[in-house]
Structure 1
Amino acid sequence: MQHFNKLAPLALAIATGLSANVYAGERVVIHVDNAEKASLIQQVKQDGGVVRVDADGFIAVEYKNKKLTDVSAQMAVKNPRLKVEADPIRKPLALFNDDVGNPSTKQITPYAVYQSQANQVPFQFSSSPKVCIIDSGLDRTNTDFDWGVITGDNDSGTGSWDVNGGPHGTHVAGTIAAANNGVGVVGMAPGAKLHIIKVFNEAGWGYSSDLAYATQKCTAAGAKIISMSLGGGGSNTAESNAFANFVNAGGLVIAAAGNDGNNVRSYPAGYPSVMMVGANDGNNAIASFSQFPSCTLNGKTDENTCVEVTAGGVDTLSTYPAGGATLPNLSTNVGAYASSAMENIGSASGATFYMGTAETINSNAAGKICMIDRGVISFHDKVNNCQKSGGIGAVIINNTAGMLAATLGTTNVTSIPAVGAAFEDRTALLAATSATVEVKAGDYGYMSGTSMATPAVSGVAALVWSNFPSCTGAQIRSALKKTAKDSGAAGKDVYFGYGIVQAKAAVDYLTQYGCAGNGSGGGTASITLTASVRYVGRTRYADLVWANATTSSVDIYRNNVKVLTTPNDGSQSNSPTAKGTYSYKVCNAGSTTTCSPTVTVTFTK
C-alpha cells in the first residue's frame, strides 16, 4: 500500500521498545538537579560518556562500551538521588476528494480540509496560537508558506531547521499552515505561525530525550500547540514530564497513534497529557494502518491514553521540498480527474484503449493511453504489458471505492508514465476517447499515515483556538472531542475515539457554551471547572475551582469514581497518594449528567 512505499525511506515502522540492556551507540537519560548538573557532566565525560542533550532537569548521555545496568549501578554509588533510564528511539509516522487540478498552477484544497470542516471556519491570524512542529525540518525551498511568521531552532546533531531531513516535516507543516495564496495547497490554518524543531538525524530517527528538550524549546518560543507525527516504543520519564508541564501551563500536545495497524501503544501519543490521533480515509473509514491501543493500561482506564479523534491521513496531498515529489496529471476529452503518480516521469497524449486487467499483450494498444482495471496481476505487470503492446501511457483504475495510490515496486523496468485513478471515475474514464497522462517532478505530493492525520488535527486546533484565544489547551482538546463526528461503531471506540474532528462544530459549540463547555453528560447546566497542581512538602494537591452548580452540594469525581460529596462553595482540594495523571469533574449532587467538563492534572513528583 502507498503508506508503506512512500514513507519507507523515513523508517515508518514503530519501534517495539528497548530492553533493559542498552548497548554501545544507544543513549541513557540521567535526571539531575540543575545545581548538580555541571559536576555530573564532568564526571560523565571522565567515564567516557558523550553528552548529547543538556536540558532543564536532565541530560542524555551516549556511552560506547556500557550497558544501562552498568550506568545505573555506577550512578547509584556516586549519587543515589540520580535516576537513570533508557532513551527510546522516536521515528516519523508518516466521501471526500481533493480538488481536481495541478497545484503548480492552481490552489488545491485537500479532502481532509472539507472532511474536517476547516473550510467553514475563518482563521483569525492575530489571535492565533503558535504551533511548534517537532519533525524533520521545513525546507525553505517550498514557497507555499508565510516565511515571515516561521521560526525555528537549529540542532547541532540534525542541522538547520529550514533544510529538510527528508520530506516528512515539510509535508506535515503544509497540512497545518500552507498559505491561502491561490497556488499549491491550503492548510487547515492557512499561514499559521510556526516554530520548527528538527529532531530527526540523517538515519531518520531521534530519541525521547530529544523530544523532551524540544518541548522546552517550544515553550521558550511561545508555542501553545505541539504537533508530533512520530513515535516509538517505551515510555520515558523526562519525555512524559516535559509534555505534562507544557499542558499544565495551558498548552496542547498532539501526536500520532502509529502505523502498524495493531493495538500497541506508541509514545509520546500514549502519555495522558498528549492527545492521540488516528487516521481515516476520504470515505470516513478507519485507515488499515491506524493503531488502536486499549484505553486501559495497568488496570487503569483513561481515555487520554488511547485514540481520542481522527482526521484524514490516507493519500494526503501536501507540500514537499521543491522538486522532491512526483506530481500526476490526468485529463480526457471529457474533463480533468484526480490521480496519483505511480512511476516514470513523462507526458503522453493520445487515443484511449481499454485493456481490461491487462493480463496479456494487445497490439491494439499501440500508440494509445491504456485504461486498465486493478486486479489479478501486479501493477508493474499491467504497465509493462501496456508498454510491450506499444502503449504510451497507463491509467490503472481502482476496483474499490477511492483513489488508487501505489507504486510499481523496486524492480520497475517500465518507462511510460503511469497514474492511478479512483473507482468513482471509472465510467467517465472508460467513456473517454482521448487522454493525457503526465507524471513530473513537483513541489507537492501524497503521503499516508497517522503522521498526516496528526497535523490535520493540530491545524484544526489552531484554527478553532484562533477564534477563542482565552481558552486553554485542555478546553480546546475537550471541544474537539465533544464535537467530533461519530464514525465506525456507534459511540466512542478504540479506532476513531470520539470520531473525525470537526472545526465548524467545535466553533459552534464554544460559541454557545464558552470555553468551559456544557459538561460531559449533555445536561443543561454549564458547570465550569479548573484544576491546578500544588505541592506542600511531599503532599500533592489538586486545587479545584468550579462555578454554576445548582445543588447545595456537589459530587467530585476522580478518574470517573466519586471520591467526595462536599458543600457547593466553589472550591475543594484533593490529595492523590501517588504521582501520575488524574482526571476530575464536578457534578450536581446525585447527578451523573449535569457535570463539568473533565479536566486533567499531572503530578510529576
Structure 2
Amino acid sequence: MGLSAQAGDKERYIITYDSNSSDLKKGHAVKAQGKNWFAVELDEKGKSAIKMKKGFKKIEVDAKRFPMGIYNDDAGDPVTQQLTPYAVYQSQANQLTLGSGQKVCVIDSGLDMSNSDFTWSNITGDNDSGTGNWDEHGGPHGTHVAGTVGAADNGYGVVGMAPGVPMHIIKVFNASGWGYSSDLAHAASLCDTAGANIITMSLGGGAANSTEENAFINFTNGGGLVLAAAGNDGNSVRSYPAGYKSVMMIGANDGDNNIADFSQFPSDTITTGRGKKRTTETDDGYGVEVTAGGVDTLSTYPAGLASLSSLTVDSAGVASAATDNTGTVSGETHFMGTAEAVDAGALGKICVIDRGAISFAAKADNCAASGGIGAIVVNNVSGVVYMDITGTAATFPIVGAALEDRAAIVGSTTASIESGASDYGYMSGTSMATPAVAGVAALVWSNHSSCTGSEIRAALKATADDQGASGRDDYFGYGIVKAKDASDYLTANACGGGEPPPPPPPPPSGDLTADGSRSKGGSQLNITWSGFSSSNVDISISGQGFTEANDGAASFSGADKRTTYTISVCEAGTTTCAPDFTL
C-alpha cells in the first residue's frame, strides 16, 4: 500500500549526491546532513526538480522512527506457546527461581477452574454462601490477578511472577461486583488459617474502619505481608485497605517505566482528630510504596471469555488489541486517514485508519461502505488502542494498534488479522500491579525463608528502581520493584536490613594533599588542592571555613602544638568533597 503525496504536500526525503552539493541544497532548508547526503522537505514539483540538478544520485523517503518499549511481552499466541509478560522482565522475576514455603492468598472474584494454566494441586480456597464457590469466577478479574501471581511455567499460556506458587483463593465479590470491609476482615482470618503468608487485594474503596485495619495488623504482626492496590482514579485520594499503615500500597507503571495515568498518588502524611486532639503523622505506609507493571497486562481469563488478536504487516508481527469483531482476514492494505468519509481505494482491502475525529464505530462503518474487508485502527497516543465499537454495522475483523508501530502499518502493502475468543487477555490497573508485587514478594521470600513479611517489605523498598522525582515520591513510592536486586540485598544484609537506607554520599571529588609538622614553636600545615569540577572550593580547617579558587595551595601555622586539625576541601556550596586530612 502506498499513499501518494498531493502536489502541495511536502514530505521529508534523504538526498544523496556524487559531488558538490551546493546547487542541490540551494533554496532548501536542510534538516540534517552527513557525508554525501542531506535531508530536506519536498513536494512533488521539488522532487522532480532536484533530480535534474548536477551531482544528484538518489532520493529516498526519510522514514519516521518511534521509541520502542523498554520492556515488552513476548510475541506469539499463548494458545500454542508460552509468553512472558513485560512486567516479569521489568521486575526481574525471570532472574530468580521459586523456592518453597510461600503461599499467596488472593482475595478477589474467584479463580475459574476452566483455565488450565495453573498448578491446581497447589491451589486451595474457601467457599462462601454469599459469593459462591471459589473456583467459579465472579467475573474475569480474579482469574487475571491469580495468573499474574502464579500462572504455571508449563510451555503454553503465560508465566506468572512466581510460577506455580501455592495459592489460597477467597471470593469476596458478590453478584453485583462488590463486597464489604467486614468481608475483607473475615477473609484475612481465612488466609491466616490456610497458612498463607502473603495477602494480595486488587480492590479498595473509601473510608477506613478499625475492624478491617486490625485484621491486617494482626496478620502482619504474625509475620505476614499484606498488599493492596492504590486505586485507578488518577488522583491523590487515599483508598482502603491500601491506605492502612500495615498494608503495602502498590501503584502501577507501564513498560516504559512511566507512571500509569490512572494510578492514585496519596501523600504519605495523614491527619486525624480536631482542635487540640489534631495529630499529623508521616509514614511511607500511608502512600504508594512501590510500583509494578499494570498497563496492558497479559494474563489468564476464564476459558473463552477474553478476545485476543494477532496482527502482522508485511509479514512482521506488531502489537494489537482485539475488539468484539473477531475473525481472520488477509489482504492488501489501504490508508484511509481518519476515515471520515467513504474511500473507493479501500475496495477489497484492509483499511488502515488513524484514531481521532470520529467514533470507532463510524470509522468501521466507512471502511465497510468503501468495500473494506478488515480494519486496523492506529492509536494517536502511546500504546495500543482498545476500542468500543458498539453500534457498528461492520462485520469484518477490527483490531487496534499502537502509535509506535504507525510508520510500519501505514507504510505496509499487506496485513493479516487473526482474532477470536481466548483464555488469555489484557487488563490495566493498579489491580494488575498489585499481584505482580505479591508474586515478586513470594519469589524473594522463598529464597530467604527466615525473613518476616516486614523484612521482605523493607527489602523491596530498599532495592526498588527509583523513577520519577529523585528519592521517594507520591507516584512511584520508592520505585519499580526488582526481584533479583531485593534477593541480592537480603543476601548481603541478612533479613534485618531494615528500612530503605539513605542515599549513598556523593563520590569523592578532586584531590587534597597535605603535610604538616609539630614543634616546640607550634604547628605547621601545608595543603594543595586540584581537580575539582567547580571553579571555587570551600576549605574548612577544624570548623573555620573560607572559599578559594580551584587548583591552589596554602600554608597555615598555629601556636599550639597540641591542637588536632581536620582539613576538608569541597566543591563550593556542596557536600561533594575530597577525603579529609587530620594533623
2:316 partner amino acid: G
- Alignment-derived partner of residue 288 in structure 2: 307
- Alignment-derived partner of residue 508 in structure 1: 488
Of 97, 105, 123, the residue aligned with 1:132 is 105
Return the offset for 1:415. 2.0
- Alignment-derived partner of residue 91 in structure 2: 116
- Alignment-derived partner of residue 366 in structure 2: 385
Return the offset for 1:523. 8.8
Q: Does 1:374 align with 2:352?
A: no
- Contact persistence 2:437–2:481 (CA under 8 A): yes
**CA separation in 2, counterparts of 1:399 and 1:420?**
11
**CA separation in 2, counterparts of 1:497 and 1:522?**
14
SS of the aligned residue for 1:326 comes to strand
**CA separation in 1, counterparts of 2:74 and 2:385?**
16
Of 398, 419, 423, the residue aligned with 2:399 is 419
**CA separation in 2, counterparts of 1:265 and 1:485?**
23
- Alignment-derived partner of residue 578 in structure 1: none
2:74 partner amino acid: D
- Alignment-derived partner of residue 521 in structure 1: 501
Q: Deviations over 1:565-590 (max 9, x none)?
A: xxxxxxxxxxxxxxxxxxxxxxxxxx
- Alignment-derived partner of residue 322 in structure 1: 303
Q: Percent identity of the aligned residues?
A: 64
2:84 partner amino acid: T
Q: Deviations over 1:437-460 (max 9, x none)?
A: 122011001111111111011111
Of 445, 451, 460, the residue aligned with 1:471 is 451
Structure 1 consecutive aligned stretches of length 4 or more whose deviation exceeds 4 Å: none
SS of the aligned residue for 1:206 comes to coil
1:271-420 mapped onto 2 (5 Å cutoff): 271-298=244-271, 299-408=280-389, 410-420=390-400
**CA separation in 1, counterparts of 2:435 and 2:500?**
26
**CA separation in 1, counterparts of 2:487 and 2:403?**
35
- Contact persistence 1:128–1:463 (CA under 8 A): no
- Contact persistence 1:188–1:460 (CA under 8 A): yes
Q: Deviations over 1:477-506 (max 9, x none)?
A: 011111111111222111111111111111
- Alignment-derived partner of residue 415 in structure 2: 435
Return the offset for 1:518. 6.6
- Contact persistence 1:128–1:467 (CA under 8 A): no
Q: Deviations over 1:236-293 (max 9, x none)?
A: 1111011000000000000001111111111100000000001111111111111111
Q: 1:261 to 1:333 in 2, by over 3 A?
A: same
- Alignment-derived partner of residue 189 in structure 1: 162
**CA separation in 1, counterparts of 2:489 and 2:352?**
48
Return the offset for 1:359. 1.8
- Contact persistence 1:282–1:402 (CA under 8 A): no
1:330 partner amino acid: L
- Alignment-derived partner of residue 543 in structure 2: none
**CA separation in 1, counterparts of 2:484 and 2:364?**
43
Contiguous gaps of at least 5 residues in structure 1? 1-94, 525-605
Return the offset for 1:198. 0.4
Of 103, 115, 134, the residue aligned with 1:142 is 115
SS of the aligned residue for 1:414 comes to coil
SS of the aligned residue for 1:152 comes to strand
- Alignment-derived partner of residue 223 in structure 1: 196
**CA separation in 2, counterparts of 1:444 and 1:341?**
12
- Alignment-derived partner of residue 156 in structure 1: 129
Of 470, 489, 492, the residue aligned with 1:490 is 470
- Contact persistence 1:115–1:282 (CA under 8 A): yes
Q: TM-score with structure 2 length normalisation?
A: 0.71
Return the offset for 1:418. 1.1
Q: Deviations over 1:177-234 (max 9, x none)?
A: 1111111111000111000010100000110111101110000000000000000111
- Contact persistence 2:331–2:350 (CA under 8 A): yes
- Contact persistence 1:116–1:501 (CA under 8 A): yes
1:250-261 mapped onto 2 (5 Å cutoff): 250-261=223-234
> What is the aligned residue count?
427
Return the offset for 1:148. 0.5
2:331 partner amino acid: G
1:340 partner amino acid: A
Q: Does 1:107 align with 2:87?
A: no
Return the offset for 1:432. 2.6
- Contact persistence 1:98–1:338 (CA under 8 A): no
- Contact persistence 1:295–1:303 (CA under 8 A): yes
- Contact persistence 1:283–1:402 (CA under 8 A): no
**CA separation in 1, counterparts of 2:503 and 2:247?**
27
1:456 partner amino acid: A
- Contact persistence 2:458–2:498 (CA under 8 A): no
- Contact persistence 1:308–1:497 (CA under 8 A): yes
1:300 partner amino acid: E
- Contact persistence 1:343–1:439 (CA under 8 A): no
Return the offset for 1:519. 5.8
1:275 partner amino acid: M
SS of the aligned residue for 1:318 comes to strand
Q: Highest CA radius of gyration, 1 or 2?
A: 2
Q: Does 1:174 align with 2:147?
A: yes
1:366 partner amino acid: L
1:197 partner amino acid: I
Return the offset for 1:128. 3.8
**CA separation in 1, counterparts of 2:95 and 2:209?**
39
- Contact persistence 1:101–1:338 (CA under 8 A): no
Of 205, 228, 244, the residue aligned with 1:232 is 205
1:47-86 mapped onto 2 (5 Å cutoff): none
- Alignment-derived partner of residue 453 in structure 1: 433
C-alpha RMSD over aligned residues: 1.5
SS of the aligned residue for 2:484 comes to helix
Return the offset for 1:522. 4.5
**CA separation in 2, counterparts of 1:397 and 1:162?**
38
- Contact persistence 2:462–2:501 (CA under 8 A): no
- Contact persistence 2:455–2:498 (CA under 8 A): no
SS of the aligned residue for 2:323 comes to strand
Q: Which stretch of structure 1 is more off in the superposition, 375-384 or 127-136?
A: 375-384
Q: Deviations over 1:318-350 (max 9, x none)?
A: 100000001111123332222111331221111
Q: TM-score with structure 1 length normalisation?
A: 0.69
